[in-house]
Structure 1
Amino acid sequence: MEASKAKGSFTPALIVVDVQEDFCPPEGSLAVAGGRDIAPAINTLLSLPFALKVATRDFHPQDHISFGESHNPPNNKPFESSVRIPNPSNISQSREIPIWPVHCVSGTKGADIIPEIDMAKIDMTVEKGQDRMVEMFSCFADVFGNKSPEATNIDLADTLKDAGITHVFIVGIAGDFCVKCTALDARKEGFQVCVLEEVIKSVDPGEKGWGAAKEEMKKAGIKITGAGGPEVERVKNLS
């Protein structure tokens, strides 16, 4: 057994999910209420001795398949319409995804991580959702579970494993989409996962959105906890 996987070992990473201009008020095209408000708490976490600190960001082409503008009316209304997309690795499979406003297009301000985040403390940035034909909420894989260099610039699971990471702490936007999917995939990859609830903002903060996401994560063995909880105290004690 590798030392990093030995019973009782603790080598934590922090993943800061998609705290980008287009997901934050006042000008974001897909702004999530209170998105900027979590920046101070994120910076506090970034000051802790996590073994690896990762930021993620949507980094879409202009004609991404999830954008309303990529489809013909009337079934192209953001937040109302959906589209069924095929699995690029298995065309017999398909999945329905929501239609969104154009957001986080590579090379635009909207794709930038907000300046309130102390990026000097970030070790690497995962740029995801680059394949125009497939949706990618998680920073580990697309909605079909595929990993592809066309969709993301870093194989995050391999990177974390190479660094001996055992535990993953997740914060950011949006709790009911990219945070949830990142957490579920991290668990599938074999990591212990903690989602820090007060450092999360969701598209739908109610029971049908964030509430349902929490239940799904809990069933997968993910711990929903707080930034002041014993798990974060354990990180502090590494210093």
Structure 2
Amino acid sequence: MSQPFSPDAALILVDVQPDFMPGGALACHQGDAIVTGIDQLLRQRRFRHVVATRDWHPRGHISFASSHPGRAPFEQIALYGQPQTLWPDHCVQGTPGAELHPAIDWSALDAVIRKGSDPAIDSYSGFRENHGPDGARPRTGLGGWLRERGVTEVFVCGLARDVCVLWTAQDARELGLRASVLWDLCRPVTPDTDVATRARLLAQGIAIVEAGE
């Protein structure tokens, strides 16, 4: 067994679900390449606290292009005064694509945070939903869960690096947590965003590390 991290550290696994893998409804670039590494990391039991987030959308979710007649996936609209990308229908509640990836041993998992369950609000971050009709971003409960356990540092990985991983790490920093992204255990929707994602992370004081480190 590898040397464990500080008891004050938590691992956050973001949306490691089949719909974000090749062949899925919203496939990330090489999304399946992280499965083996995440499985190995969990088996090492290096973290006292392990949380997974899970996209869990009802049918007809407002972020789906199919909910907006005449619109196509990946078009952008204004929603509640904020830019909203329209996605293919994905991670629909109760479908295989919304499950945590079956090739990973999840026995080290302490909690699962479902997000995107409100049909009227999209959700990227594990900590807060996107902006709602009132302009606020509803909390998921993850911040309180970590605070109750004395967590001061988080390591984030999963899918997608340029969306949900990025937003989760940014919100962790806003909550005063030290944050690192395990770069090799993430993949983007498209690799064209990697330079911008790396710059945004570093500019906000979020470390970029490799899982082996």
Aligned to 2:30: 34
Structure 1 residue runs of 5 or longer lacking an equivalent are 1-8, 87-93, 230-239
Paired AA for residue 134 in structure 1: I
Runs of 4+ in 1 over 4 A off after TM superposition: none
Paired AA for residue 168 in structure 2: T
CA distance in 2, matches of 1:84, 1:189: 27
Asked if 1:143 is matched to 2:134, the reply is no
Aligned to 1:106: 93
CA distance in 1, matches of 2:157, 2:100: 14
CA distance in 1, matches of 2:62, 2:199: 29
Query: Alignment partner of 1:184: what SS?
Result: helix
Asked if 1:213 is matched to 2:207, the reply is no
Aligned residues: 203
Paired AA for residue 216 in structure 1: R
Does the 8 Å contact 2:38/2:185 carry over to 1?
yes
TM-score normalised to the size of structure 2? 0.91
1:156 to 129, 137, 142: 142
CA distance in 1, matches of 2:125, 2:169: 8
CA distance in 1, matches of 2:110, 2:97: 22
Asked if 1:43 is matched to 2:34, the reply is no
Asked if 1:82 is matched to 2:76, the reply is yes
Query: Alignment partner of 1:175: what SS?
Result: coil
> Higher mean Cα deviation, 166-175 or 113-122?
113-122
Does the 8 Å contact 2:7/2:47 carry over to 1?
no
Aligned to 1:233: none
Query: Alignment partner of 1:33: what SS?
Result: coil
2:13 to 13, 16, 34: 16
Does the 8 Å contact 1:15/1:56 carry over to 2?
yes
Aligned to 1:25: 22
1:123 to 88, 93, 110: 110
Query: Alignment partner of 1:194: what SS?
Result: strand
Aligned to 1:65: 62
**CA offset at residue 53 of structure 1?**
0.4
Aligned to 1:236: none
Give CA deviations for 1:53-89 in whole Å, capped at 9, x if unaligned: 011110011111110110010xx1112x112111xxx
Paired AA for residue 121 in structure 1: A
CA distance in 2, matches of 1:66, 1:147: 16
**CA offset at residue 104 of structure 1?**
0.3
Asked if 1:172 is matched to 2:158, the reply is yes
Q: Determine which structure has more spread, i.e. the larger CA radius of gyration.
A: 1
Does the 8 Å contact 2:7/2:48 carry over to 1?
no
Structure 2 residue runs of 5 or longer lacking an equivalent are 1-5
CA distance in 1, matches of 2:120, 2:76: 14
Q: Pairwise CA RMSD of aligned residues? A: 1.4
**CA offset at residue 10 of structure 1?**
5.8
